[in-house]
């Protein structure tokens, strides 16, 4: 009995020690390979494991290196399919419905990230999107300080009413036109991130060649990075605003009408606070504005319009909440309860939370007003303002150069493609270039 148990345990642990062949996450069913270029395939296995790749009439053997990595390059193939692609080692992987055609990487900001489902006539477009030779692989959005070995788990999806709504709109319409003109399969690798700076998409080597970037200052890891960020934001805040007397330092009083805010500095609205001395601040800032009303205005039906605010607001009128909204592109319009306004001085207080990029009021000045019956009182101009805190946040894709390149581009650079579709990306502020850190 004891010998039987021992044998079972030996078999169990031997099974654990056996590493199965696996492919990089880019290689899944419905894959599209670039035509007329060598077919590159790679993955991982047991160190020194023998692996064979079979595709159409080709068969190629390779050996995993001492760390279990392997890579194969088959001869170029013309457009066609569907085919099976077989990878055999200690185990066997078969990818089904593989095509050969034109492959493009689609990368950029929100204008590349925007899916078909958010386009004009989205329902009609997705309903007529039954193009089985058009496919998309969406690279999972993540970051890395060093070039990653692989992208996150994803899969190639076939164009059709069930999938096309999630495709990059720019990528899909480009692929559809190309497919209709060339008559071959078209694949889109969607590696996009809304609001991203161009520096986060560039490699360490590319940025090191530019004198305005001190890439030697890049941290080896994220530990301590945000402690330095908060210290820097504390210095920016201390320089921008005077010390609050202890008696009125509680933020719970900052919405009240009786608060003395004469020592608060001014922020112009609508304009991002980053452009007014609070560069790179992601966090919470209070705005206060006094407005004088006549008895007739105070008694009329009223609406408070604040325009657009990046990103979230909590709005108070004479100390009472009148509304709150999250969404950088959502116009704020709050009804004012009867009896809340009074003749004479009234206080509007807005607590704004910015989670990244621009912060505060932005847009058109005409969108900011208190409407009292037939009267319209503009709220554009200087507001008293006060920083409550910087944001205690996780690492973001714009916080350092190279982060999106390392996680979303570097792992697929060995995959042959015809070209790259790019949309315009913003450039980080000049002040941040010499000191890698949270950037706009």
In whole angstroms, give the CA distance from residue 16 to residue 405.
34
Judge whether 412 lies within some domain.
Answer: yes
Cα-flanking dihedrals φ and ψ of residue 64, to 5°?
A: -65, 145
pLDDT of residue 425: 52
DSSP codes joined into one string, 248-296:
G--GGGTTSTT---TTS-EEEESS-GGGGT-TT--EEEEEEEEEEE-HH
Q: Number of structural domains, the chain?
A: 2
Q: Convert the pLDDT of each residue in 322-331 to its tens digit.
A: 999 999 989 9
Tell me the pLDDT band of 232, cut-offs 50, 70 and 90: confident
Q: Convert the pLDDT of each residue in 114-148 to its tens digit.
A: 999 999 999 999 999 999 999 999 999 999 999 99
The total number of residues written for the chain in this structure = 440
Residues 284 and 365 in one domain: yes
Please report, for the domain that includes residue 276, its CATH number: 2.60.120.260
In whole angstroms, give the CA distance from residue 59 to residue 75.
10
pLDDT of residue 227: 76
Judge whether 351 lies within some domain.
Answer: yes
In whole angstroms, give the CA distance from residue 41 to residue 297.
72
Judge whether 38 lies within some domain.
Answer: yes
> Which range, of 214-228, 230-244, 303-317, averages the lowest pLDDT?
214-228
> In the predicted model, is pLDDT for residue 301 greater than 50?
yes
Cα-flanking dihedrals φ and ψ of residue 298, to 5°?
A: -65, -30
Q: Which letter does DSSP use for residue 140 in this model?
A: P
Judge whether 11 lies within some domain.
Answer: no
Contacts with 2 (C-beta within 8 Å, 6 or more apart), sequence order: none
Residues 421 and 356 in one domain: no
**Inter-residue contact 394 to 320 (CB < 8 Å):** no
Q: Which letter does DSSP use for residue 167 in this model?
A: S
Judge whether 111 lies within some domain.
Answer: yes
> Which range, of 61-70, 155-164, 383-392, averages the lowest pLDDT?
383-392
DSSP codes joined into one string, 83-135:
EEEEEESSSEEEEEEEEEEEEEEEEESHHHH-BGGGSTTHHHHHHT---TTEE
**Inter-residue contact 115 to 169 (CB < 8 Å):** yes
Residues 238 and 360 in one domain: yes
Tokens of 292: 């004088």
Judge whether 2 lies within some domain.
Answer: no
* Integer angstrom CA distances of residue 358 from 275, 330, 392, 393: 9, 15, 17, 16
Task: Share the mean pLDDT of the chain.
Answer: 90
Q: Convert the pLDDT of each residue in 233-288 to its tens digit.
A: 889 898 999 887 655 568 889 999 999 999 999 999 999 999 999 988 889 999 99
Contacts with 430 (C-beta within 8 Å, 6 or more apart), sequence order: 212
> In the predicted model, is pLDDT for residue 25 greater than 80?
yes
Residues 162 and 296 in one domain: no
Which residue did the predictor score with more confidence, 5 or 330?
330
Residues 319 and 172 in one domain: no
Residues 376 and 427 in one domain: no
Q: Which residues form the domain of 301?
A: 225-390
Q: Helix (H, G, I), strand (E, B), or coil: what is residue 331?
A: coil
Residues 349 and 413 in one domain: no
> In the predicted model, is pLDDT for residue 434 greater than 50?
no
Residues 180 and 235 in one domain: no
**Inter-residue contact 59 to 50 (CB < 8 Å):** no
**Inter-residue contact 173 to 119 (CB < 8 Å):** no
Residues 188 and 233 in one domain: no
In whole angstroms, give the CA distance from residue 160 to residue 1.
58
Longest Cα separation, the chain: 97
Q: Convert the pLDDT of each residue in 194-216 to its tens digit.
A: 989 899 999 999 999 888 888 88
Q: Which of 288, 316, 274 is nearest to 429 (CA)?
A: 274
Average pLDDT over residues 400-420: 96
Judge whether 400 lies within some domain.
Answer: no
Residues 160 and 89 in one domain: yes
Buried b (16+ CB within 10 A) or exposed e, 117-139: eebeeeeebbeebebebbbbbbb
**Inter-residue contact 309 to 285 (CB < 8 Å):** no
Q: Helix (H, G, I), strand (E, B), or coil: what is residue 66?
A: coil
Taking the C-alpha atoms of 118, 124, 128 and 134 in order, what is their torsion angle to the nearest 10 degrees?
-10
Q: Convert the pLDDT of each residue in 351-392 to its tens digit.
A: 999 988 889 999 999 999 999 999 999 999 999 999 998 887
Residues 411 and 376 in one domain: no
Residues 277 and 345 in one domain: yes
Judge whether 285 lies within some domain.
Answer: yes
pLDDT above 70 coverage of the chain, percent = 90
DSSP codes joined into one string, 9-64:
HHHHHHHHH-PPPEE-TT--TT-EEETTS-EEEEEE-STT-EEEEEETTEEEEEE-
């Amino acid at each position: 009995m004891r010998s039987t148990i021992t044998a079972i345990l030996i078999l169990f642990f031997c099974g654990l020690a056996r590493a199965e062949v696996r492919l990089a996450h880019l290689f899944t069913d419905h894959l599209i390979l670039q035509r007329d270029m060598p077919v590159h395939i790679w993955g991982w296995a047991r160190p020194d494991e023998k692996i064979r790749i079979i595709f159409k009439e080709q068969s190629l053997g390779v050996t995993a290196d001492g760390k279990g990595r392997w890579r194969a390059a088959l001869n170029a193939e013309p457009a066609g399919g569907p085919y099976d692609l077989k990878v055999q080692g200690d185990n066997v992987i078969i990818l089904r419905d593989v095509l050969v055609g034109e492959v493009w990487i689609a990368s950029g900001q929100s204008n590349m990230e925007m899916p078909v489902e958010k386009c004009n006539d989205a329902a009609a477009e997705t309903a007529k999107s039954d193009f089985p030779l058009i496919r998309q692989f969406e690279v999972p959005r993540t970051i890395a300080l060093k070039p990653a070995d692989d992208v996150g788990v994803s899969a190639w999806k076939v164009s059709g009413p069930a999938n096309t709504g999630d495709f990059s709109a720019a990528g899909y319409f480009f692929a559809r036109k190309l497919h209709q003109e060339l008559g071959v399969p078209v694949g889109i690798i969607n590696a996009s991130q809304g609001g991203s700076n161009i520096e986060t998409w560039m490699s360490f080597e590319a940025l090191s060649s530019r004198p305005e970037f001190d890439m030697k200052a890049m941290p080896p890891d994220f530990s301590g990075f945000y402690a330095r960020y908060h210290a820097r934001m504390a210095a920016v805040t201390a320089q921008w605003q005077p010390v609050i007397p202890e008696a009125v330092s509680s933020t719970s009083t900052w919405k009240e009408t009786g608060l003395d805010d004469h020592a608060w500095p001014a922020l112009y609205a609508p304009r991002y606070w980053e452009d007014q001395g609070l560069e790179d601040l992601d966090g919470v800032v209070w705005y206060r504005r006094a407005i004088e009303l006549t008895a007739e205005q105070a008694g009329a039906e009223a609406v408070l319009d604040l325009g657009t605010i990046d990103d979230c607001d909590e709005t108070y009128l004479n100390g009472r909440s009148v509304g709150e909204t999250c969404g950088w592109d959502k116009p704020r319009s709050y009804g004012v309860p009867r009896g809340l306004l009074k003749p004479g001085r009234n206080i509007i207080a807005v607590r704004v939370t910015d989670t990244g990029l621009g912060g505060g009021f932005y847009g058109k000045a005409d969108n900011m007003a208190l409407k009292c019956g037939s009267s319209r009182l503009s709220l554009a101009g200087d507001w008293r303002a006060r920083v409550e805190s910087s944001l205690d946040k996780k690492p973001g894709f714009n916080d350092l150069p190279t982060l999106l390149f390392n996680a979303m581009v570097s792992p697929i650079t060995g995959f042959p493609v015809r070209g790259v579709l790019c949309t315009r990306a913003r450039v980080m502020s000049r002040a941040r270039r010499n000191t890698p850190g949270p950037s706009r």
